[in-house]
Amino acid sequence: MAKRIVGQHITRPGRTVDDEDITFPVAKDLLKVPGVPRREDEITFYSREYPLESFAVAETASAEWAGKVRDEFSPETTELYQEFQNEMEPLVEWIRSTGDLEPTGTPTGNDVTDLIRKKARQLGYGEVGFTRFDRRYVYESKRKYLRPEVSHAICLAYEQDYGDTQAIPSLKAEEAQGEAYKQQAHLSKELVEFIRSLGYRAQVSGPAWHYGPMIPMFVEAGLGQLGVNGQLLSPHFGSRARLQIILTDARVTHDKPVDYGVIKFCELCQVCFMRCPGKAIQGQTVWYRGVEKSKLIYKRCRPVMARFSGCGVCMKVCPIQKYGMKPVMEHYVETGTVLGKGTDNLEGYELPGKGYFEAGKLPHFDAAFFDMPTGRSEDHLLNEFKEKLREAEKDADESEALWQEYRDKIEKSMKQQGAVVDMGMDLAE
């Protein structure tokens, strides 16, 4: 393949606060649009008529199913998630309360963007950006908790451990993910104190308590672009970036979306699409809720995650995650090819208990593997009850027993809601 013409150079702050800025080329044939292709009217329409809802609320049937499957397949993962939940609960309690915290200082009226960015970088956040808080991306059940005056989003990315991430899927990688979330919670405490001391409010979204999806605002703040794997591909960490947003009423200047070349690069890379064990990732894009993207098929992902330590192969095999955006984009300009594509170094992975899958080889799962209930648990149990009742016809004793069984299941389901099923999932209200 031939050397490519450079379309633009991008300069970003270094990986840590002590590192020099980095500059890398983006090939002209990779340029498409800053951020993501989007239709504002459609985003508004869907948010108004079909508001978003958290999976922790809208997908409780599959969550309970996944919890049972995981207990059977990998009890050690259940144990790890339980420990994580125990440690996160007080932190989530604090995150939930941040909207009630009053400022402690007096605002000067000056723009405080640089002060907040510097503080966040000193604390250890790898990417920091500012944008409008887009309330179209708020979960329906969380709207009541949001302060009306917080109109800006401070987007904060924290790097999950590099080495452990390359061991995906494994308990080690899940521990690294959990550790990143705990660190985020602790760091945000310091950043919230700082913003309050400047005289402003700071309401925290994430980890384990989110007001909505965060990637759209990270893209608008210029911190990366959406990959085919459904994750933010950020310059230093690719999809290894763990995301968190602090909402504020402080006077800040918004950043702009950037075209890193990711959208067109993904079109020719497609590694995550080809390597996904569940075939959950789609190679082609569709317009979904006003955004052009590759839409992940959730029903093919969760059954894999439940059995194989949260899976995450789509993160592991992404060259931008593994090598970083600068080497990947430089390699493309020099060769017109995708760094690492077709090699076991990038594409190989082991599924615990299933074996090693080199580049070009995929595991096989039959249809029963993906047989999972979807939607809300209460709806699923009611449908199941009605079906059984119909079969019992007019047998009063059997009907009574079914009614009792239904009540027991509903009570048990309500108790289970809020348990961590996938690392990173919201804890219940």
Determine phi and psi for 246, rounding to 5 degrees: -115, 125
Considering the complex, state which of residue 147 and residue 341 has its C-beta at the smaller distance from ligand SF4: 341
Token reading at 121: 């970088």
Ramachandran sector of residue 363 (left: φ over 0; alpha: ψ -120 to 50; beta: rest): beta
- Nearest-approach distance from CB 312 to ligand SF4, in angstroms: 5
- Nearest-approach distance from CB 341 to ligand SF4, in angstroms: 8
Considering the complex, state which of residue 98 and residue 229 has its C-beta at the smaller distance from ligand SF4: 229
Question: In sequence order, what DSSP letters do the residues of 75-114 get, joined into one string?
Answer: HHHHHHHHHHHHHHHHHHHHHHHGGGPPP-S---SS--HH
Q: Which residues bind ligand SF4 (CB under 6 A)?
A: 227-229, 265-266, 269-272, 276-278, 280-281, 296, 301, 304-305, 311-314, 317-320
- Nearest-approach distance from CB 383 to ligand SF4, in angstroms: 26
Considering the complex, state which of residue 80 and residue 318 has its C-beta at the smaller distance from ligand SF4: 318
- Nearest-approach distance from CB 302 to ligand SF4, in angstroms: 8
- Nearest-approach distance from CB 292 to ligand SF4, in angstroms: 14
Listed in sequence order, the residues at least 6 apart from 97 whose beta carbon sits closer than 8 Å to its beta carbon are none
Considering the complex, state which of residue 120 and residue 232 has its C-beta at the smaller distance from ligand SF4: 232
- Calpha distance 355→312 (Å, rounded): 16
Considering the complex, state which of residue 123 and residue 311 has its C-beta at the smaller distance from ligand SF4: 311
- Calpha distance 137→121 (Å, rounded): 26
- Nearest-approach distance from CB 217 to ligand SF4, in angstroms: 19
Considering the complex, state which of residue 226 and residue 245 has its C-beta at the smaller distance from ligand SF4: 226
Residue nearest to ligand SF4 (CB): 227
> Residue 109 to residues 106, 200, 264: CA-CA distances in angstroms?
9, 10, 42
> Residue 171 to residues 73, 117, 181, 348, 427: CA-CA distances in angstroms?
13, 33, 15, 18, 20
Question: In sequence order, what DSSP letters do the residues of 322-389 get, joined into one string?
Answer: HH-HHHHHHHHHHHSS-TTTT-HHHH-EEETTTEEE-TT------GGGG----S-HHHHHHHHHHHHH
- The residue written with tokens 């348990």 in the block is 419
- Nearest-approach distance from CB 35 to ligand SF4, in angstroms: 16
- Nearest-approach distance from CB 339 to ligand SF4, in angstroms: 10
Considering the complex, state which of residue 38 and residue 322 has its C-beta at the smaller distance from ligand SF4: 322
Considering the complex, state which of residue 96 and residue 341 has its C-beta at the smaller distance from ligand SF4: 341
Compute, in degrees rounded to 10, the torsion defined by CA atoms 138, 206, 180, 295: -10
- Calpha distance 254→153 (Å, rounded): 9
